[in-house]
Structures are given as C-alpha cells and as structure tokens.
Amino acid sequence: MTKLTYIAPDGATFEVEAEDGSTVMENAVRHGVPGIEAECGGACACATCHVYVDEEWMDAVGQPEAMEEDMLDFAYDVRPNSRLSCQIRVREDLDGLVVRVPERQG
Amino acid sequence: MKEAIRTDVLIVGAGPVGLFAVFELGLLDLKCHLIDILDRPGGQCTELYPEKPIYDIPAWPVISGQELVDRLMEQIRPFEPQFTFNRMVAGLERLPEGGFRATTDEGEVFEAKVVVIAAGGGSFQPKRPPIPGIEAYEGKSVFYAVRRMEDFRGEDLLIVGGGDSALDWTLNLQPLAHRLTLVHRRAEFRAAPDSVNRMLALKEAGKLDFRIGQVKALEGEDGILRGAVVKGPEGDFEVACTRLLPFFGLTMKLGPIADWGLNLDENLIPVDTERFETSQPGIFAIGDINHYPGKLKLILSGFHEAALMAQAAKRIVHPHEKVVFQYTTSSTSLQRKLGVTR
Ligand SMILES: Cc1cc2nc3c(=O)[nH]c(=O)nc-3n(C[C@H](O)[C@H](O)[C@H](O)COP(=O)(O)OP(=O)(O)OC[C@H]3O[C@@H](n4cnc5c(N)ncnc54)[C@H](O)[C@@H]3O)c2cc1C
C-alpha cells in the first residue's frame, strides 16, 4: 500500500492508503475527496480530475503524455505542476505523494 | 411569445438514450421532438468519447461512441424525429388543458402531451476560465459560443484555447474581425493539424496574432471590455480587445431541470421501474439522469428504460387505443412503420 495525501482548497487534508496500480483519481473518488469530479470516469476525456502535484513530487510523478497535455488545455487554472489524476498510477516510489485539489474543475 | 411547435413527445436531451426513445415511441405511433444544447446528437458519446470503443452494447462486440450514435440516427430515421440543437430547455410547465409547455433559452415554445427527460449528466455547458470578475462581462463582451457570426463583425476579438472550437472560430471569424488575437497556453494544439496550419499561415501573412499565454485579468467597465492582461512565458502583456471568446471545453451541469418542480435526489430524478415516470405524472426520466434501486448508468439500461417508458407514454397520448405486444421480426404493421415492407 502507498500513502497519498490530498489537500483541498480550504486546506483540509485527506490521507489515504492506495493500492498500487490504481489511479490517484480513483482513490480520491473512493474516499470522497471533494473537488475531484471525474465526469468521464477515468478515460482522459474531460479534465475534471485536475490536481496540482506538490513541487517536491514533480520529478517522481513525471510528465503527462501528449493525450493528457491536450486534455489539460480544458482544465481550470493550469499550472506547470498540473496533472489529471486519472493518469497518475499509484506505485511504490510514490509513497507519501502530495497533490492539491484546485479551487474548481471548470 | 413565438408560436408553439406541437408534438406528441418532447424529449429533453439527444444523447443515446433520448435517441433510442424515438424508436420505441415511434413503433407506438408517437411523434418526437428532441432538444439539446449541443450542436449535434449523441450526448456524452459524441462530446466526450467519439473515438473510444464501447464493448458492452449487445451484439456489437466493439463500437465507437460516434458510430453508435450514427447507427441510432439511422435506426430512428423512419420515424422522422425533429431536432432543435444549440438550445437549452429552460422552463417546463403543465398546461391547464393537459400536456406541457416547454420554453428554450432563446424563447422558442414547445407543446407536448408527454415530456421525456433524457438529460444524462445535465446540460453540456462551457467551462468558465479562471479570470476574476469575468461574470460581469458575460453576454456583453464575453461569449462562450458563436450563435451569429455577424455579431462579431468589426470587433477586436480575443479567442482563447487550443482545441477545435478555438481554431475553427479563429478561422471563421478572422475575415470579419477588425483584429483577431488567438491566445493559447502552449505552442502545441489539440485541434486538427490542418486548422492549425491555416491559422499559422494567417499569422505569417500578418492577418492575425497568435500569442502563448493565459489570460489573467480583464480591463473595462460595465461589462464593456477594453483589453485583457495575459501571462506569457516572458512576463505579462496586454491585448486590446472588445470581445473575448474562451473555449475551454464543456462540463455537465444539471441546469434548469432543478426548477421544474420534480423531486430530486442528489441531482438525479427518482423514477419507478415500471413506467420510469417522475413525481409529476406525464413527465418521464430515462438514462443517466434517473435513479431507482439498482440503477446502472449504462447505455444498455437506458435503452431498456426507453422501451418501458414508451408503453406508459402511449397510454397517456392515446388513452383509448389498445396496445398489442408485437415483434418487429414478424409484425407487418411494425414493419410498415419502419418502411421495410409495404
Ligand atoms: C468516457 C466514457 C466512457 C463510457 N463508456 C461506456 C461504456 O462502455 N458502456 C456504457 O454503457 N456506457 C458508457 N458510458 C456512459 C454512457 O455514455 C452514458 O450512460 C450515456 O451517454 C447516457 O446517455 P443519456 O442519453 O442518458 O445521457 P447523455 O449522453 O449525457 O446525453 C444527455 C444530453 O442531454 C442534454 N441536456 C441535458 N439537459 C438539457 C437541457 N435542459 N436542455 C437541452 N439539452 C439538455 C445534454 O447536453 C446531453 O447532450 C461512458 C461514459 C463516458 C464519459
């Protein structure tokens, strides 16, 4: 199990134990993290599971692929550390990962 | 008030479930008119995943979202459904003499004996970009869609986005605009490469500006726009503009359905599983928008709901006709309706 921390816009934190292979979006939805809408259910088709990866974790998480970069064009308030959480797979070396939920998804 | 368009059944939403309802209602001689805020049929299938494969449509081992919609359109063609696109159903009221009156956001009026809400996750509505105070300019200087191109003639346009809508409107409005600037957050585009090349050619020819960046503030007063401040890779810059068109895709919002006097349960409409009727007799809800014990948000389930709903709708529209259960395979009367036999 890998520990993930979500920080809501109001500062509330949610710590969850995630199974490797699942996505950061799926764990947010399962644990009711507010602000992750995931309208398309994880198909990289809607940009409503947008998160900001904590600066310290950006290298470990890596860069989005072209399809995700395209979809990020439709996300709200995109920054250099923006990712779609349905495209981040949980794995051992992400243990302790921190992501922030934007103020809105659109 | 505009003159009412009359139909047997008004269907709110032209997603896959609304489309298939036309078929089931058509077999029972009910005429349908569908209204959707999108500019084409298909709901989520065409808007969110036209090219993605679906594997759980019975007898189609694999079919893409767009292909499913194309096949549904072909299947319902014999029933001559009427469509009104680019319109949101804003109001719905019961008429004292029976039946319903619906109005759109542009003031069109529809009267129907039965209403079927097949609104899925709600109206697809444009996403608002994170620009402080943008609401004050909406409808005056900021538009999320182009309904009449002429409205933009002679204006200084700022178009924001990198998808097909942003690029298509850049190309279509460039000849009309006094000046046009396209702003996108990066040099790559998700829009069709051909459109991007045409835009770049216009830029080379000095006919439009393309700048990389994100709009962070608007300047103007009383909803009248004068310019925008853009955060670019090398710092902020200003773009003089009188109209802003942001294209950041669509998101589903329940919208006016909440005001129609229906019982709602967390943005879903509870229905019974025999008729799929709402708390208001004569108003049905099928597909992703409804809820009942065991509900699955699947296209397959929506199709089943459409078939049962149609039986109940028939009894309302033609109360004195006896409904005989028939198969399309063997009933000549059904086949005549489908135009496959004479
Ligand atoms: C990425 C993705 C993959 C999917 N894969 C599958 C799959 O493999 N199998 C499966 O069975 N399902 C799948 N689904 C779910 C499936 O797409 C939905 O169940 C289906 O689209 C529901 O159809 P619907 O007609 O009820 O609603 P929708 O498709 O949501 O259509 C509703 C329409 O109503 C319109 N509308 C709403 N309110 C108004 C209003 N007031 N005025 C005007 N128009 C209005 C909307 O604009 C929309 O076009 C998937 C969904 C997504 C996003």
Check whether residue B139 and residue B197 sit in a common domain: yes
Please enumerate in sequence order all residues whose Cβ is within 8 A of that of A63, keeping only pairs 6 or more positions apart, or say none: none
CB neighbour burial string for A71-87, b if at least 16 within 10 angstroms, e if fewer = bbbbbbbbeeebbbbbb
Check whether residue B132 and residue B104 sit in a common domain: no
pLDDT tens-digit readout, B55-111: 999 999 999 999 999 999 999 999 999 999 999 999 999 999 999 999 999 999 999
Domain contains B342: no
pLDDT at B2: 77
Q: Can you tell me which atom of ligand 1 is nearest the CA of B89?
A: 42
Q: Which residue of B has its CA nearest to A77?
A: B130
Element (H or E) spanning A7, and its range? strand A2-7
Task: Reply yes or no on whether the pLDDT at B211 is more than 70.
Answer: yes
Q: How many CB atoms lie within 10 A of CB B113?
A: 19
B13 CB less than 6 Å from ligand 1? yes
Q: Is B109 exposed, middle or buried (0-12, 13-18, 19+ CB in 10 A)?
A: middle
Check whether residue B255 and residue B244 sit in a common domain: no
Distance B121 CA to ligand 1 centre (A): 6
Please enumerate in sequence order all residues whose Cβ is within 8 A of that of B31, keeping only pairs 6 or more positions apart, or say none: B7, B8, B9, B79, B80, B81, B82
CA terminus-to-terminus distance, chain B: 42
pLDDT at B341: 84
Element (H or E) spanning B312, and its range? helix B299-317
Q: CB pairs under 8 A, 24+ apart, for B196-202?
A: B196/B167, B198/B171, B199/B167, B199/B170, B199/B171, B202/B171, B202/B174
Domain contains B329: yes
Distance B254 CA to ligand 1 centre (A): 12
What gap in Å lies between CA B155 and CA B157, rounded to an integer? 6
Longest CA–CA span in chain A (Å) reads 32
With CB atoms and an 8 Å threshold, state whether B248 touches A45.
no
Task: Reply yes or no on whether the pLDDT at B329 is more than 90.
Answer: yes
Check whether residue B25 and residue B81 sit in a common domain: yes
Shortest CB distance from A76 goes to which of B130, B185, B186? B130
Q: Is B297 helix (H, G, I), strand (E, B) or coil?
A: coil
Check whether residue B208 and residue B169 sit in a common domain: yes
User: Which residues on A lie below 8 Å from B185 (Cβ)?
Assistant: 73, 78
Check whether residue B268 and residue B288 sit in a common domain: yes
The two structure tokens encoding residue B329: 């395979």
With CB atoms and an 8 Å threshold, state whether A43 touches B248.
no
| Cα–Cα nearest to B273, from B292, B286, B290, B287 | B292
Looking at residues A58-77, what average pLDDT do you find?
A: 93
Mean per-residue pLDDT of chain B: 96
Domain-ending residue, one of B230, B248, B266: B248
What is the DSSP pairing of strand A97-100 with strand A2-7? parallel
Helix axes B164-173, B193-204, angle to 10 degrees: 40
Check whether residue B158 and residue B241 sit in a common domain: yes
With CB atoms and an 8 Å threshold, state whether B130 touches A104.
yes
E-only strand ranges, chain B? 5-12, 32-36, 53-54, 63-64, 82-85, 89-94, 100-104, 109-117, 123-126, 156-160, 179-184, 209-212, 214-221, 224-232, 235-240, 243-246, 250-253, 269-270, 283-285, 290-291
A77 touches B: beta carbon within 8 Å? yes
User: Which residues on A lie below 8 Å from B192 (Cβ)?
Assistant: none
Check whether residue B100 and residue B142 sit in a common domain: no
Q: What is the CATH number of the domain that holds B104?
A: 3.50.50.60
With CB atoms and an 8 Å threshold, state whether A76 touches B252.
no
What gap in Å lies between CA B97 and CA B135, rounded to an integer? 40
Check whether residue B132 and residue B220 sit in a common domain: yes
What gap in Å lies between CA B33 and CA B81, rounded to an integer? 6
pTM for the full predicted model:
0.88
What gap in Å lies between CA B156 and CA B241, rounded to an integer? 5
Task: Reply yes or no on whether the pLDDT at B1 is more than 80.
Answer: no
User: Which residues on B lie below 8 Å from A47 (Cβ)?
Assistant: 249
Task: Quickly state the pLDDT bin for B174 (edges 50, 70, 90).
Answer: very high
What gap in Å lies between CA B144 and CA B161, rounded to an integer? 11
Q: Is B310 helix (H, G, I), strand (E, B) or coil?
A: helix
Q: Among B299, B304, B305, B309, say which to mutate for ligand 1: greatest number of ligand atoms within 8 Å of CB.
A: B299
pLDDT at A96: 97
Give the alpha-carbon dihedral of B50, B51, B56, B57, to 10 degrees: 60
User: Which residues on A lie below 8 Å from B52 (Cβ)?
Assistant: 43, 45
Longest CA–CA span in chain B (Å) reads 74
With CB atoms and an 8 Å threshold, state whether A74 touches B185.
no
Looking at residues A11-27, what average pLDDT do you find?
A: 96
pLDDT at A105: 86
Q: Is A21 helix (H, G, I), strand (E, B) or coil?
A: coil
Domains contained in chain B, number: 2
Task: Quickly state the pLDDT bin for A6 (edges 50, 70, 90).
Answer: very high
B171 CB less than 6 Å from ligand 1? no
Name the more confident of B300 and B51: B300
Å between B332 CA and nearest CA of chain A: 42
The two structure tokens encoding residue B295: 């509900």
What gap in Å lies between CA B239 and CA B228, rounded to an integer? 5
pLDDT at A21: 96
Task: Reply yes or no on whether the pLDDT at B139 is more than 90.
Answer: yes
Q: What percent of chain B has pLDDT over 70?
A: 100
pLDDT at A60: 96
Q: Is B124 flagged in the annotation as binding?
A: yes
Distance B252 CA to ligand 1 centre (A): 9
Check whether residue B293 and residue B324 sit in a common domain: yes
Domain-ending residue, one of B204, B227, B248: B248
Distance B120 CA to ligand 1 centre (A): 5
Residue B262's Cα: distance from chain center in Å? 21
Å between B83 CA and nearest CA of chain A: 26
Name the more confident of B299 and B145: B299
The answer to whether the CB of B285 falls within 8 A of the CB of B302 is no
CB neighbour burial string for A17-50, b if at least 16 within 10 angstroms, e if fewer = ebeeeebbbbbbbeeebebbbbbbebebbbbbbb
Q: Which residue of B has its CA nearest to A46?
A: B48
Shortest CB distance from A106 goes to which of B188, B214, B248? B248
Check whether residue B167 and residue B194 sit in a common domain: yes
The two structure tokens encoding residue B296: 């699955």
pLDDT at B265: 92
Check whether residue B63 and residue B136 sit in a common domain: no
Element (H or E) spanning A51, and its range? strand A50-53
Domain of residue B243, residue span: 128-248
Task: Quickly state the pLDDT bin for A30 (edges 50, 70, 90).
Answer: very high
B50 CB less than 6 Å from ligand 1? no
pLDDT tens-digit readout, B186-197: 999 999 999 999
- What is the set of domains in chain A, with CATH numbers? 2-100 (3.10.20.30)
Domain-ending residue, one of B248, B281, B310: B248
With CB atoms and an 8 Å threshold, state whether A76 touches B127.
yes
